[in-house]
Amino acid sequence: MSGNDSTDLRLTRDEALVLFELVWRFTETDELSIAHEGERRALWNLCCALESTLLEPCLPDYHALLDQARGRLAGNAQEDQGDRS
């Protein structure tokens, strides 16, 4: 599997709105915290959706795959920051 594969997830409008606010707040404060029980539920629902979509968590080399994915995403973040200068 490569970093170019895509996955489709379905969220309710409520989940999308609550998750948007949670992520936006994180990007503004660099602190991840639950401000409302609805955020906890939306994250739990997102985790369930990901769990039913992903095969990697069940593979024996899951942690290596996770490290590789993190590295690819971190590399993309560094490239994005470089584009802004």
pLDDT digits (tens, 9 = 90+) for 61-79: 999 999 999 999 999 776 6
Task: Give the pLDDT of residue 76.
Answer: 77
Task: Give the pLDDT of residue 75.
Answer: 92
Residue 40 three-state SS: helix
State yes or no: pLDDT of 85 exceeds 50: no
Distance, CA of 18 to CA of 42 (rounded, Å): 7
DSSP state of 56: G
DSSP string, 1-24: --TT--------HHHHHHHHHHHH
pLDDT band, residue 5 (cuts 50/70/90): confident
pLDDT digits (tens, 9 = 90+) for 20-53: 999 999 999 999 999 999 999 999 999 999 999 9
Axis-axis angle for helices 13-29, 37-53 (nearest 10): 110
Q: Is the pTM of this model over 0.85?
A: no
